[in-house]
Chains A and B, each alone.
Chain A
């Protein structure tokens, strides 16, 4: 649709594939079609060489050895492989896993499945800033604990957990530490070894690479970690993940990693300035705007804001022909329950329903931010004009004094 402005501020959902990445991938569809596991002819060797390079590029980005990179179909599979694989491998040692309530569903739902298989899971709560309490973590560790799984950065709020401190606690107690770093890798410096992380899940399509390819970092020394394969077959990826490698995808992932390594420091500075402009712009233009999550411990490109007394999904309708972003209101789901991540921060369902997540990216321009600031503010004003609770708030009615008819 020519002439309609489109602004993409949903980079935590997925990032556009960088054109340099696409260019690197293209020869691996037709010109170099080999299977990286074909050891007996040049087509296979070319594919294997390309995968080796990509593995090195990805390892370089996170300060790992290339043998520590296991390719998967994405972060969900990596999370599943890490949790289920560790549980199966180490269950004789113990059945207890510690995680947090604000983890991604790929972790939480995998934990639920493991519970059915006999695992005991502790779900740590977070404080108002979205951070776990290190004392509670340490207190939760017991002789049967085999794994702690805490995400590097949260997808909804961008809040960064104290990974190094968690790694130290895990090392002190001889417990494995897994981190879902999907939202962090390629955006901020992430080094599992330096932070005591033994397993780490991440994916290509959140860092300007193609969809359908991800990785699990598995530490090879101090300690050497093993996971039981969850996919049986040809014994690829050192027996941990069978299945023909997605060569073009892996090449793109590698290229994306190399670009991120070179550019992410500058990109973070540019994006945090734009993010701050957006955030302070809303605070200046509108009343009753609240920031969700720790201001000082978060990703440079994300802000999660609640616009009180308007409902997020309705608000999005005022501009969603032009601006893409996400809401913590889950009015589309039959459950009517808002974001569990925001509720875990103690937000109250009303503020959670009023939230919008803005996630900026490599291709976000200052013009995009100016446009979003205007359009979203206009939308908030439109919705507040329609909102009975905004009217009551303005009249000074104590909204907590009203007996609401919940349904």
Chain B
């Protein structure tokens, strides 16, 4: 299958690969997917407690090129956003930006789930609703 240039670029030069301290109260961690399904995405955000803006985002993903590109793109988009803005990221925005084919839409869904899961973790840790 042919991948779009953007997918290839994120795949070869993934942005924000890494790990944040999951025990840090300003860090929210989302781990979604399952090895059996061929995709596991871990996405982490670090929120500035004063501004409530996402100042850093990191990911690691087990999966195909589209899954890696989707998570790499998601971390780029997250940086600098407020929690509310981050919650508005829709999987179809990722599909459009990366020109994902229909069989790869689940990769973008997984990225959206990972964002929501990371935010939920952050909120739970900090007793926010």
Contacts and interface: CB of A to CB of B under 8 A. Distances in A.
Contacts of B38: 311, 313, 329-331, 336, 338, 349, 353
A405 interface: yes
Interface string A395-407: 0000100101111
Given A353-B38, A388-B41, A407-B33, A311 B17 contact: no
B31 A388 contact: yes
Nearest to A310: B62
A405 B33 contact: yes
Interface string A302-329: 0000000111011001000000000001
A389 B37 contact: no
A403 to B, nearest CB: 9
A313 B11 CA distance: 12
B62 A309 contact: yes
Contact of B67 (A309, A314, A330, A385): A314
B80 interface: no
Contacts of B67: 311, 314
Given A317-B65, A387-B62, A353 B35 contact: yes
A348 B32 CA distance: 19
Nearest to A348: B36
Nearest to B42: A388
B64 A317 contact: yes
A386 interface: yes
Contacts of A407: 32-34, 37, 39, 106, 109-110, 113
A279 B41 CA distance: 30
A349 B103 contact: no
A331 B67 CA distance: 10
Nearest to A395: B19
A313 B35 CA distance: 13
Contacts of B36: 348-350, 353, 404, 406
B40 A389 contact: yes
Contacts of A338: 38
Interface in B57-72: 60-65, 67-68
Contacts of A348: 36
B34 A406 contact: yes
A404 B40 contact: yes
Interface in A325-372: 329-334, 336, 338, 348-350, 353
A184 to B, nearest CB: 30
A353 B39 CA distance: 9
Contacts of A45: none
A404 B62 CA distance: 13
A352 to B, nearest CB: 9
A4 to B, nearest CB: 15
A311 to B, nearest CB: 5
Contacts of A386: 14, 17, 60-62, 68
Contacts of A391: 19, 60
B77 interface: no
B64 A389 contact: no
B103 A333 contact: yes
Contacts of B113: 405, 407
A390 interface: yes
29 contacts: A311-B38, A311-B62, A311-B67, A314-B11, A314-B62, A317-B64, A329-B38, A330-B38, A331-B64, A332-B1, A334-B103, A348-B36, A349-B35, A349-B36, A353-B35, A385-B17, A386-B14, A386-B62, A386-B68, A388-B61, A389-B40, A391-B60, A404-B35, A404-B40, A405-B113, A407-B32, A407-B39, A407-B106, A407-B109
